[in-house]
Amino acid sequence: MKMPCSISIFGLGYVGLTFSVCFASKGFKVIGVDVDLIKIKNIERGIPPFYEPQLKEYLSKALQKNTFTCTNDYFQAILSSDISFICVGTPAKSNESLDLSHVKSVSRNIGEALRKKKDYHLIVVRSTVTPGTTEHVIKRMVEDLSGKTCGIDFGLCMNPEFLREGTAIYDVLHPDRIIIGEFDKKSGDILENIYREFYGEKTPPILRTSLTNAELIKYANNAFLATKISFINEMANICQKTSGADITVIARALGLDHRINPKFLGAGLGWGGSCFPKDLNALIKYAESIGYNPVLLKAVNEVNSLQPYKAIELARELIGDLKGKRIAILGLSFKPNTDDMRNAVSIKIINELLKEGAKVVAYDPAAIKNAMKIFGDRIEFTFSALECIKDCDCCIVVTEWEEFKRLNPDDFIANMKNPAIVDGRRIFDPKKFSLKLKYKTIGLSL
């Protein structure tokens, strides 16, 4: 069989679109498929549907090169490609299990199209799905609707992604490793060859395994990272009550142990986003469904659910009762370099402040539009950090955007009514700040 180099990618969200433009930029012929026609029109005009560093540049490069096209015609996309990547979202349902409706609808489309296709086709699942879904839901649907047999007429891989929002392009181009869960050897060989062609000499280690292991690796990865953060936040809360202790020094020391490594030991107000909360809950739900009580994962969740309230606690220590106080919030998105507000800790903090009768004024370099959909006119929005802190009684740093790191104590003294700062992400030098104004931060008893 010839090396497949024409690919269709189903779902043009964070995973699908970044993956598409990176592959297209290296000369692969990529057809992006989505059901949202407005999204498709905008992408065709070079406008990404969300903010992500470098994405616009990569998109326009791919469009200029003519290697990337978009369509809602799944049928045509499958017939004119050799391999389809399923990158649609698997959001949480209200009972915290996974909503597989998008995955099922794409599987149905692929099955219907394959009925009419003579050539072999490889299906690669990149969406995050619980163990067994690739084989028992996706494979079954495609076989039923196509009338074809997996391992003979079409191939199947589960290939989890590990990109982070805010560094998505970098992560696609520089992965630590590639995990290929394969139904059969032929499927895995084809996908491995594609990645070897894409990365060339820089191909990272490739681990080939079963579909189920690949599904679980994704969950284990996110659960482990979330555990690291909840662990360091718990240590930070212990430091907070221990005279002379500082979590940043402890985290640095831990990170120097090669068995631990320094990443994801940044203490703060907890983790948010579309992945950790959803994946941890789905893993807990899955474990319970097979008769296992995942006590550690539940504790990781619990530490995280309480962590945002540390900001309120510290604000109260600085300025007392929050009723009627004007509080500035610096940073709304769940992490820097994204406009994503999904499960952002800012939501919990702001809702609590409003409940306590405070007036909230907020600024974020990218997420204001999305935050407006959540808060409406319940809070004020500003267009710069300095405007945000103006005349405030307290400022809480919620997201560690680079531009906030450049603020110095005099900026706060000159603009705030009462210069008091809760540094929720350890972005300022406590010595410098606490000398000049009221300052509290996570993991340091001051």
Q: Which residues are catalytic?
A: 275
Distance CA 419, CA 331 (A): 18
Asked if 11 is part of the footprint of ligand UGA (rule: CB under 6 A), the reply reads no
Judged by CB under 6 A, the residue of 26, 164, 208, 316 near ligand UGA is 164
**393: nearest Cα among 317, 310, 319:** 319
Q: Which is closer to ligand UGA, CB of 187 or CB of 274?
A: 274
N-to-C CA span, the chain:
67
Distance CA 238, CA 308 (A): 16
Binding mask 229-248 for ligand UGA (x = CB under 6 A): x-------------------
Asked if 427 is part of the footprint of ligand UGA (rule: CB under 6 A), the reply reads no
Binding mask 202-231 for ligand UGA (x = CB under 6 A): --------------------x--x---x--
Sign (positive or negative) of CA dihedral 98, 99, 100, 102: negative
Q: Which is closer to ligand UGA, CB of 162 or CB of 170?
A: 162
* CB distance 191 to 122 below 8 Å: yes
> Of 134-142, 194-202, 258-266, 322-330, which segment contacts ligand UGA by CB under 6 A?
258-266
Judged by CB under 6 A, the residue of 34, 52, 82, 161 near ligand UGA is 161
Asked if 264 is part of the footprint of ligand UGA (rule: CB under 6 A), the reply reads yes
| Site size for ligand UGA (CB under 6 A) | 20
Hey, which residues between 320 and 359 contact ligand UGA (CB under 6 A)? 334-335
Judged by CB under 6 A, the residue of 7, 275, 358, 366 near ligand UGA is 275
- From residue 201, give the alpha-carbon distance in Å to each of 2, 20, 197, 299, 420: 21, 21, 9, 42, 52
Distance CA 418, CA 414 (A): 10
Q: In one letter, which amino acid is 214?
A: A
Q: Which is closer to ligand UGA, CB of 77 or CB of 398?
A: 398
- The total of other beta-carbon atoms located within 10 Å of residue 37's CB is 11
CB of 147 to ligand UGA, least distance (A): 34
Q: Which is closer to ligand UGA, CB of 190 or CB of 300?
A: 300
CB of 315 to ligand UGA, least distance (A): 19
Q: In one letter, which amino acid is 61?
A: K
Burial bucket for residue 171 (CB in 10 Å: 0-12, 13-18, 19+): middle
- From residue 341, give the alpha-carbon distance in Å to each of 92, 206, 331: 16, 33, 10
Judged by CB under 6 A, the residue of 4, 11, 268, 308 near ligand UGA is 268
Q: In one letter, which amino acid is 300?
A: V
- The total of other beta-carbon atoms located within 10 Å of residue 152's CB is 10
Judged by CB under 6 A, the residue of 82, 165, 215, 423 near ligand UGA is 165
Q: Which is closer to ligand UGA, CB of 109 or CB of 248?
A: 248
Q: Which is closer to ligand UGA, CB of 62 or CB of 225?
A: 225
E-strand stretches of 202-325: 206-209
Bridge partner list, 207: 179
CB of 148 to ligand UGA, least distance (A): 31
Q: Which is closer to ligand UGA, CB of 204 or CB of 357?
A: 204
CB of 272 to ligand UGA, least distance (A): 4
Q: Which is closer to ligand UGA, CB of 143 or CB of 161?
A: 161
Hey, which residues between 29 and 48 contact ligand UGA (CB under 6 A)? none
Asked if 273 is part of the footprint of ligand UGA (rule: CB under 6 A), the reply reads yes
Phi, psi of 174 (to 5 degrees): -130, 60
E-strand stretches of 309-419: 326-330, 359-363, 380-381, 394-397
CB of 222 to ligand UGA, least distance (A): 5
CB of 206 to ligand UGA, least distance (A): 17
**19: nearest Cα among 128, 163, 152, 132:** 163
Q: 402 is written with which tokens?
A: 């680079």
Footprint of ligand UGA (CB under 6 A): 161-165, 222, 225, 229, 264-266, 268, 271-273, 275-276, 279, 334-335
